[in-house]
Structure 1
Amino acid sequence: MSLLRVNAGIQISKPVNEVFEAIVDDKKMSNYFISESSGKMEEGKELLWKFPEYEERFPIKVLKIRMNEFVSYEWEMGEGKKNQVEMTLTAAPGNSTVVKITEGEMENNEAGIAWLGGNAEGWANFLACLKAYLEYGINLRKGAFDFRKG
């Protein structure tokens, strides 16, 4: 049985160093993704993230950071299972950056397919929000998921 993996990507019209900092700096990340974090992403650090639409905090463990190139971390997917997220940044023409994200893996079954759909939607949203924040200074996430509260 093959395993499922989420893949998402986008090109952002900002230099790679600005995109990298928006991903690892919790103060910047709170302008488009999370509402708060226990700190900046640094290799080996364990952090707690809070999202605007949820009361609970989500633990993440930063695995690897390569300045302006790569970020990886793991987070829980429920039932004690952890998944690894990898973000690769590549400089592109016009002083822009291509961001590619992978997350996985899950079994190719009903639960895995539900996870794949939800997380693919989530990473596409993350990338759109990152682009909107960096290129236009707006927070697309603000209020977007209020319907999930309660």
Structure 2
Amino acid sequence: MATQKLQIKTAIQILKPAQQVFEAIVDPAKMSNYFISESSGPMEAGKTVTWKFPEFAETFPVRVSNVEPDKSLSFFWDGTDGTELQVEIALAPTGNQATVVTITEKEMDNNEAGLTWLMGNTAGWANFLACLKAYLEHGINLRKGAFDFMKPGV
């Protein structure tokens, strides 16, 4: 019997139009208000950008594969074990200028390493969505100081 692959899928509704949600995801100046501390540039198809998070010393290359303005984007990045993982972000407009944001990340083997990835990155993407919602709807940066306890030497 083949080992089933694991993937993450999480979603949230944000009370903003898809265009505003999309811009907050692809524009590093906006993204630094709720997710990363810095980026080497905007997310554009065919480009590799480098993300830096406030609680980690290392940087993370993000290989952007597809961008459909106000609808979706996808990128690849490497898991902690070097596995290339694909992230897909879909935006679905709903009534009253709201947008459902769905994030799918795939895939890892159904083993101990895969389960560790599943737990950690599921929590990470749920946090991303909550932070995106708080930023867009209320101008709040939920991430500021939230993960300082993870910094080396703390």
Instruction: Give the TM bin, normalised by the shorter chain.
Output: over 0.9
C-alpha separation in 1, matches of 2:81 and 2:10: 25
C-alpha separation in 2, matches of 1:80 and 1:120: 18
- State percent identity of aligned pairs: 59
TM-score w.r.t. the length of structure 2 is: 0.96
- Report the alpha carbon displacement of residue 94 of structure 1 after superposing the two structures with TM: 1.2
* Aligned partner letter, 2:74: S
C-alpha separation in 1, matches of 2:59 and 2:111: 28
Query: What is the CA deviation profile of residues 73-92 of structure 1, one whole-angstrom value per residue up to 9, with x for unaligned ones?
Result: 00011343110000000100
Where do 1:5-44 residues align within 5 Å?
5-44=7-46
Match of 2:96 in 1: 94
- Report the alpha carbon displacement of residue 16 of structure 1 after superposing the two structures with TM: 0.5
Query: What is the CA deviation profile of residues 125-148 of structure 1, one whole-angstrom value per residue up to 9, with x for unaligned ones?
Result: 000000000000010000000010
SS of equivalent to 1:60: strand
Query: How many residues are matched?
Result: 150
Query: Which residue, out of 76, 79, 102, partners 1:77?
Result: 79
C-alpha separation in 1, matches of 2:99 and 2:18: 5
- Report the alpha carbon displacement of residue 26 of structure 1 after superposing the two structures with TM: 0.5
C-alpha separation in 2, matches of 1:126 and 1:119: 10
Query: What is the CA deviation profile of residues 26-71 of structure 1, one whole-angstrom value per residue up to 9, with x for unaligned ones?
Result: 1000000000000000000111100010011100100000010001
C-alpha separation in 2, matches of 1:5 and 1:80: 16
Q: Which segments of 5 or more consecutive residues in structure 2 lack a partner in the other structure?
A: none
TM-score w.r.t. the length of structure 1 is: 0.98
SS of equivalent to 1:127: helix
Query: What is the CA deviation profile of residues 104-131 of structure 1, one whole-angstrom value per residue up to 9, with x for unaligned ones?
Result: 1000011111110000000000000000
SS of equivalent to 1:86: strand
Which stretches of structure 1, 4 residues or longer, exceed 2 Å deviation after superposition?
Answer: none
User: What root-mean-square deviation, in Å, do the aligned CA atoms of Structure 1 and Structure 2 show?
Assistant: 0.6
SS of equivalent to 1:34: coil
Query: Which residue, out of 104, 107, 110, partners 1:108?
Result: 110
Q: Does 1:139 align with 2:141?
A: yes
Where do 1:54-73 residues align within 5 Å?
54-73=56-75
C-alpha separation in 1, matches of 2:68 and 2:124: 24
